[in-house]
Amino acid sequence: MKRFLSIAMALCIGLTMSLDANAKRFGGGKSSGAAPTHQTSQMAPSSAAGGAAATAGAAGAAGAAAKAGGASRWLGPLAGIAAGGLLASMFMGGGFEGMQIFDILIMAVIAFLVFRFIAARRRKQQEHLTPAGHAPMQREVFEQKPAGGSVFGGSAAPVAARPVINAPAWFNEKNFIEAARNHFQSLQQHWDANEMDKISEFVTPQLLEFLKRERADLGEGFQSTYIDNLNVQLDGVDDRADKTIATLTFSGVSKTSRFDQGEVFSESWNMERPQGENQPWLVAGIRQNG
């Protein structure tokens, strides 16, 4: 029984580490593509009601990460080394001698249950984050104007310290930010699953080539990445003759597992939309802030 429990523990640790070991955020956490046009400011709340909670959450996450001091990023590799050492000691010490077919069957059942558990959690997270009827960021998503005559999703009263926004009449800031939040999560899920064909619907061809190289460096396998305390800020919009461009800044905490302390991140996306009916918003560039 002692030998069997040791084998089961090593198997579970090894399976978990194989899924989470080299997980990285969408884009590999690097700057690439066309640089955002608008100057990225410090993260500020999009509304007075939700801003305080988001700022407090980001501050708390930053404090936790600072206290952790980067030790959490070593938990995965250390656990993998521990599992490997355990298996090695069992091989060298004859821990697998006398194994019966029943022992092998039980190990196979444990491996199956672990994979089922991880897959179920992943599906549950995707259903929670991805809205029904998901589609690329089309113009129609943002055409409806809110009551009160403002195209920015709130009252017509001026708000202090807001970015200068030269937006077309159909632009709706509130809907745009919410759609961007959903697309950020969707792109991360496609990145984890190595679904570059789906990512191609969201990015420019130039950025796609860079992303393909970065994802290939991570291997073809599935990875797990969790984004907590995600905050989205619109830094600016410019309506030009050939296209409309916008800059969005995303900040939060990126984790390789729910047990990881995670790393605080802040990055800005350069979004472009060609002029014309039913044109999609595409990510043209990503810049890491700091």
pLDDT digits (tens, 9 = 90+) for 142-159: 444 444 433 333 444 444
| Three-state DSSP class for residue 220 | coil
Q: Which pTM does this prediction carry?
A: 0.59
Reading the block at residue 275, the tokens are 């002029």
- Give the separation between CA 130 and CA 135, rounded to whole angstroms: 10
In the three-class reduction of DSSP (H, G, I as helix; E, B as strand; rest coil), residue 166 is classed as strand
- Are the C-beta atoms of residues 225 and 257 closer than 8 Å to each other? no
Q: How far apart are CA 85 and CA 81, in angstroms?
A: 6
**pLDDT tens digits, one per residue of 46-104:** 333 344 444 444 444 444 444 444 444 444 444 455 555 544 554 555 555 566 676 67
Sign of CA dihedral 165, 151, 265, 51: positive
Mean pLDDT of 190-195: 96
pLDDT mean across residues, the chain: 72
- CA dist 277 → 138, 167, 170, 185 (Å): 9, 16, 11, 26
pLDDT the model gives residue 214: 95
Average pLDDT over residues 22-51: 66
Domain boundaries, position 56 = 2-288
Q: Alpha-carbon distance 195 to 221, whole Å? A: 11
* pLDDT score at 133: 46
- Given a cut of 70, whether residue 273 has pLDDT beyond it is yes
The answer to whether residue 244 scores a pLDDT higher than 70 is yes
Q: Give pLDDT, residue 72.
A: 43
Q: Are 183 and 202 in contact (CB under 8 A)?
A: yes
- The secondary structure of 181-205 as a DSSP string is HHHHHHHHHHHHTT-HHHHTTTB-H
Count of domains forming the chain: 1
d(Cα 232, Cα 250) in Å, to the nearest integer? Answer: 5
Dist CA 53 CA 45 (whole Å): 9
Query: What's residue 89's pLDDT?
Result: 53
CA distances from 281 to 98, 204, 232 (A): 62, 9, 16
Q: Is the dihedral of CA 140, 137, 177, 33 positive or negative?
A: negative
Name the percent of the chain lying above pLDDT 70.
53
CA dihedral sign, ordered 170, 173, 175, 176: positive
